[in-house]
Amino acid sequence: MLQIYNTLSKDKVPFEPIDAGKIRMYVCGITVYDFCHIGHARVMVSFDVITRYLRARGWDLTYVRNITDVDDKIIKRAAENGETPETLTSRMIEAMHEDEIRLSVLRPDMEPRATAHIDDILALVQTLIEKGFAYAASNGDVYYRVEKFEGYGKLTRQNIDELRSGSRVNVEEAKESPLDFVLWKAAKPGEVSWESPWGPGRPGWHIECSAMSKCCLGDTFDIHGGGPDLPFPHHENEIAQSEAANGVQYVNTWMHAGPVRVNSEKMSKSLGNFFTIRDVLEKYDAEVVRYFLASVHYRSYIDYSEDSLKEARSALERFYQALGSVECADAEPDNDFEARFFAAMDDDFNTPKALAVLFELVSELNRAVREGSLEAGKLAAQLKRLGGIIGLLQQSPDVFLKGEDRAGELSAEQIEALILQRKDARSNRDFALSDKIRDDLAAQGVILKDDRSGTSWYREG
């Protein structure tokens, strides 16, 4: 049985969907004011693996991931660039989709944008006002009354008294309490805005997800996911808004991906260790990056470093070298690798444990190839299929191992010419030249492999 760690209950429990055989999942997406960074990639890949696995196990999954396309950061960046917020967000959304395609991240079933749900947001705010959980302030903003909601803080174990004592409110603020948060923001001159019963304005960040998830998945749904920075206050505020308005539990299972660190330090622009997905993909094969992100359990922090990416490359090389040694067969092998792989993934999507099973499968495949066993083709197909559930091993081995020609490196044509020159040298028993060609290629990251069928090669690292 599938077990998932629930951030709300703080334990790993058997997963039971609201509707048998069906899962409704909402994941907080990107605020599209800049290119996506490696932390965004962590969340994208984590929930993509979860999506692929749930579907591989036969669940009917509806996956929703929103886009925040109106926000203070968006307005500020658009003004700095001298462009409209709409132009900026359209450009960043397109770039986000390009990054996802390269990382083999599947598009969600629904990708609602905040600006397309203004009517839903207004209706939700109005409901909260009518129920006494929100109020229109003198400055044109609408705020949520945090202290009226009895369950506030239950996701992150926050104590309302401690929150109150640690908060302060400026004299000019129109809040009733320093804990209250904004649902609707009065527009400043020149800002993008929509008409509302409380004057022109735009939605606060937290209300967007409550409105979009309700619209797409209903008042209560199975799984809500997001990044490590979202449990407080964003998800606490979503719970408060949705449960106060709808009168039912908002989400049954809460899931959060862990943070990305860079050489064991927190990633930040001020430290100069901030990397966009595009920065990373300029240096590393996209599948190497995906493997790296999937190689650590989704809830744990992951340390981005040159060594970590090299280890990911080496691991994939081992998989692809095994796959390149034999043709895949259609028949299923008689072994327990699949059952053990599924058992690992059923344990809160434990990808490190699942990958360990695949490494054992590689060893078995290599043994079958050495022995000339008919099982080799079956094992290769099994490895490719199980790897595909994590979004890996779907390239041709030749394409991955040889890679694309890159500036400053030997081209495939040059390498093949040197291999032919080495073959001639060996035929002439000029082993010194043969060895020199091999060593020279190795020094440039090109590894040769001799077998009965001839010489093959791949790029290392």
Give the residue ranges of the annotated binding site for ATP: 269
* Cα 108 from Cα 66, distance rounded (Å): 9
Q: Can you give the three-state secondary structure of 25-81, one letter per residue?
A: EEECCCECCCCCEHHHHHHHHHHHHHHHHHHHCCCEEEEEECEECCCHHHHHHHHHH
In the DSSP assignment, the letter for residue 103 is T
Coil, helix or strand for 104? coil
* Cα 177 from Cα 181, distance rounded (Å): 9
Nearest to 321 by CA among 363, 371, 374: 363
Nearest to 327 by CA among 364, 359, 361, 374: 374
State the DSSP H helix or E strand holding residue 221, giving kind and residue range, or none if neither.
strand 221-226
**Unique residue bearing structure tokens 């209560």:** 220
Nearest to 141 by CA among 175, 172, 185, 176: 185
Coil, helix or strand for 336? coil
Binding residues, as ranges, are: 28, 209, 234, 238, 269
Buried b / exposed e over 386-418, threshold 16 CB at 10 Å, is bbebbbbbebebeebbbeeeeeeebebeebeeb
Euclidean distance between the first and the last CA atom of the chain, given in angstroms as a whole number: 39
Coil, helix or strand for 349? coil
Q: Are strands 142-144 and 181-186 parallel, antiparallel or unpaired?
A: antiparallel
In the DSSP assignment, the letter for residue 106 is P
191, with CB counted inside 10 A (0-12, 13-18, 19+), is: middle
> Is the Cα torsion angle 198, 203, 206, 209 positive or negative in sign?
positive
* Cα 205 from Cα 214, distance rounded (Å): 15
For 456, the token pair is: 């093959």
Give the length of the chain.
461
Binding residues for Zn(2+), as ranges, are: 28, 209, 234, 238
